[in-house]
Structure 1
């Protein structure tokens, strides 16, 4: 099979597999900029002396940059020479990484992260379009979507491996040297893979939707601020949260109105007229929110088991292995027969259900590394069976005239789900932690013989080690407090996992009903043979 000559250097066009691997490397390099400090946020918090919410906002600003730029990117790629376009974007990415490396201002860092998101969208969006162009027409959409969205699922842990290695040996921002090195390699790949002068004619840039870009940026920033800081300030009891929530609603309304009145909108709102697309989009938002329960496991490993960043990330590699195997399996199944898509989704949700049940049944204060390998792996396997197939469900529900709108709206859905999970898990943990701590404290009475006996054993042990009775009593109180904290967190995690079980069952039932309704409709549409 020969490669389309639109983008690729003719001298290497026959090496399709090598070209695909090279493009995938550049795609992963772009994604790495987005996920560069997702698993080492504690180190970033310490460096800036910031609150966790501040760093979460900086991370989400990268996503706002991606989402605002992606619709423009699918159009600007046609207006520039591809190789020069990517070289400029990669060079800008290097300069932005240098800026992030040397800045000590959190505000400047957050602004830079927004522009990192913009360059990520330019490079990743370009790679998606080029990958579509080099594959056979029947496979291009499926393979391209699986490559693109499979990398999104995996890149956080892959970059986290390098990040963990860095933070164990130097300052966390040494990670930027690795990211810059990857970008330099990507520049060399672009020189090798892409040909010059891919632009047939010059197209003016004034037709681009700059107003929509600004409106969406304003909405994204305010929406992210509302959902990240809302739980901390008790939502609408705080005047700032009320203001940002109203502002986000206003800018979203203006953005949608602006898209609706444009002749050639960046986002074709006609896509929202299709009920099948809505079902897929809601399924995506649900999946991406519920899959983030894995962060509770990583938090359990760090906070209760006391693991290092390297241990946690090495465990996460089993998750990546599950994603990779399931993504490959799902790709093969869909290429064989697209009608297998509903079966894949059901299988994925059933595995996700088992994962949540396993954690609920087995979560204790002393799980080992080998104990956690299995649930971490099956969570990745379920995610690999679900993420790209859900995207395929969404995109197959839309007519061709909507263009890349399906991918863009799905990216909006992922952004919404990520923010909802941040706010939701924060609120749930605060609520249930407080509830269980109060329950434990109320049980601490002089009549609690078990607690009194255990405390007396601690004190006697400490006295036998040379502590005086007063110090032994104080240390025992601290140990009891620590135990209460651990038990409260474990009960909180188990409660959240059982809630996830109920929600996953609801998703499975929705899929079954959706399948039955579609089968009934298809039977009714079969024309009757007139005798």
Structure 2
């Protein structure tokens, strides 16, 4: 029997156990990506870095995943499945050990890049184990739904995990916990999988476009760097941004020229000649810009309302449950033949309701429970938009080059994520500056209301046993109050901008002709991204 015909799992492993193992492998790999996204202050204090450095560490791993995914389409066909998978898991384990024992920021960034490669490697091989064996379009839609439900669960799961661990331990213990989770997974893979089995027939690694991969990696990493640090460095007023932008432009030009001429390109750019594929990629790109706004809600709860991270866990749990439910309900509509674009537009409208709710209820006072509803609205919107958008893009792709949709789709999501960070950094800076200026104009020593406010605060402190230091405490209290007011108003301004952007995009989707003609067409072997 040839290697690619040998069963991946040993004969004593039931099918449902095999699927559970694959989902567990996927979970342990993906959880490292969003590990500290909901608790950036913890890594800032542990490594002594700035918020933009933390953002770049997340972008760096994302860039590594997006770029290596293109190369992985060739390498996965060369190595045996168990060895390839164990290599990725072992790389994860080594990186977790390094991150646990070191406090060197540059070494941490290197580990993030390597973790991105191993994450792409593991995710690709697991998805190639699952989806090519699913034959009917109905089963593939359900499988897509399960996969993307798991993907959208990662962020709130990481929030629950990090909040629980960081309440008692330092930041580096997060990696120790991941290592403990990873060890049994490695043992399970080693014991349950056949040694010589392959997913595909062995394909030699000749004509592998390593130069294209290096160019693609440079484009992703440098683009991410420019978008993260651009505002801090004053964009093109800084020589570093100008030089990096020139390198990105040259690398992109060389990459496009190279891919067009090669017989076996890293990415087949002919896919971008299909209008509805481009529209689907645009939907994913814009969706990831809006998706990144959820972090503001959790930040508002923690920094403005003063909610303990452990008390946010019920909200994260609600988000997980609602996301899974909404995705499965949406998949039923897709299978019933409901227009995928109309479903996506409905999802964006629900997202608009989330923004409206936040604009109405954000203030410097409030209850945590008041924000369970908007988080659920956001989760519903995520479930309604994501699966139809991906299926729409795949269904619109020409059959012979449809597999490239995974590569370009990942890049679209990566760019949406980076653009969201750039918009966030820009709006937060200018919105905060404008609000501070308005407050500075009114909060002056000549304003009699300021003196009355300080006297009122001081008297309240004295009545509650504030003692002789009540004057200093009242000034500190007022400064803290102004800080939270500035933060809440800047978040409200951000949601206001995103709502305008959302309404504009919905109008564009409604105005585009012919997009409802795309029908469900998921082919055997189609792997999601």
TM-score normalised by structure 2 residue count: 0.91
Structure number with the bigger relative contact order (C-alpha 8 A, sep ≥ 6) is 2
1:6–1:493: structure 2 CA closer, same or farther, 3 Å change rule?
farther
- Residue 493 of structure 1 corresponds to 491
Which of 500, 508, 511 aligns to 1:510? It is 508
Structure 2: how far apart are the matches of 1:201 and 1:362?
57
- Residue 437 of structure 2 corresponds to 438
Kindly indicate whether the alpha-carbon contact (under 8 Å) linking 1:432 and 1:492 is maintained by their aligned counterparts in 2.
yes
Structure 2: how far apart are the matches of 1:452 and 1:299?
31
- Residue 8 of structure 1 corresponds to 8
1:422–1:521: structure 2 CA closer, same or farther, 3 Å change rule?
closer
Structure 2: how far apart are the matches of 1:364 and 1:372?
12
1:329–1:12: structure 2 CA closer, same or farther, 3 Å change rule?
farther
Structure 2: how far apart are the matches of 1:518 and 1:160?
37
Matched residue count: 515
1:7–1:360: structure 2 CA closer, same or farther, 3 Å change rule?
farther
**Residue 236 of structure 1: how far off its partner (Å):** 1.2
- Residue 160 of structure 2 corresponds to 161
- Residue 382 of structure 2 corresponds to 383
1:64 maps onto 2:63 in alignment: yes
1:209–1:479: structure 2 CA closer, same or farther, 3 Å change rule?
same
Structure 2: how far apart are the matches of 1:202 and 1:71?
18
1:430–1:184: structure 2 CA closer, same or farther, 3 Å change rule?
same
Query: What whole-Å deviation, never above 9, does each CA across 1:278-326 have from its counterpart, x for those lacking one?
Result: 1111111111111221111111112112223323344222222221111
**Residue 141 of structure 1: how far off its partner (Å):** 4.2
Structure 2: how far apart are the matches of 1:104 and 1:288?
31
Query: What whole-Å deviation, never above 9, does each CA across 1:240-298 have from its counterpart, x for those lacking one?
Result: 12112222222222222221121111211001101111111111111111122111111
Which of 473, 476, 479 aligns to 1:478? It is 476
Structure 2: how far apart are the matches of 1:468 and 1:17?
67
- Residue 306 of structure 2 corresponds to 306
Higher mean C-alpha deviation, range 192-201 or range 172-181 = 192-201
**Residue 422 of structure 1: how far off its partner (Å):** 1.1
- Residue 315 of structure 2 corresponds to 315
Structure 1: how far apart are the matches of 2:107 and 2:403?
32
- Residue 133 of structure 1 corresponds to 132
Kindly indicate whether the alpha-carbon contact (under 8 Å) linking 1:437 and 1:485 is maintained by their aligned counterparts in 2.
no
**Regions of 4+ moved over 6 Å:** 466-469
- Residue 227 of structure 1 corresponds to 227
Query: What whole-Å deviation, never above 9, does each CA across 1:304-359 have from its counterpart, x for those lacking one?
Result: 1222332334422222222111111122222332x432232122111111111000
Structure 2: how far apart are the matches of 1:297 and 1:521?
35
Structure 2: how far apart are the matches of 1:261 and 1:172?
48
- Residue 353 of structure 1 corresponds to 352
1:335–1:91: structure 2 CA closer, same or farther, 3 Å change rule?
same
Gaps of 5+ in 2: 520-529
Please identify which structure carries the higher helix content. 1
- Residue 80 of structure 1 corresponds to 79
Kindly indicate whether the alpha-carbon contact (under 8 Å) linking 1:215 and 1:252 is maintained by their aligned counterparts in 2.
yes
Kindly indicate whether the alpha-carbon contact (under 8 Å) linking 2:38 and 2:295 is maintained by their aligned counterparts in 1.
no
Structure 2: how far apart are the matches of 1:519 and 1:144?
23
After TM superposition, list the pairs within 5 Å mapping 1:292-441 onto structure 2.
Answer: 292-337=292-337, 339-441=338-440
**Residue 442 of structure 1: how far off its partner (Å):** 0.7
1:351–1:436: structure 2 CA closer, same or farther, 3 Å change rule?
same
**Residue 130 of structure 1: how far off its partner (Å):** 1.0
3-state SS of 1:33 partner: coil
After TM superposition, list the pairs within 5 Å mapping 1:23-102 onto structure 2.
Answer: 23-102=22-101
3-state SS of 2:339 partner: helix
- Residue 255 of structure 1 corresponds to 255
Kindly indicate whether the alpha-carbon contact (under 8 Å) linking 2:341 and 2:515 is maintained by their aligned counterparts in 1.
no
Kindly indicate whether the alpha-carbon contact (under 8 Å) linking 2:392 and 2:518 is maintained by their aligned counterparts in 1.
no
1:486–1:519: structure 2 CA closer, same or farther, 3 Å change rule?
closer
1:509–1:224: structure 2 CA closer, same or farther, 3 Å change rule?
same
**Residue 448 of structure 1: how far off its partner (Å):** 4.7
Query: What whole-Å deviation, never above 9, does each CA across 1:196-235 have from its counterpart, x for those lacking one?
Result: 3224764332332211111112222211111111111211
1:215 maps onto 2:212 in alignment: no
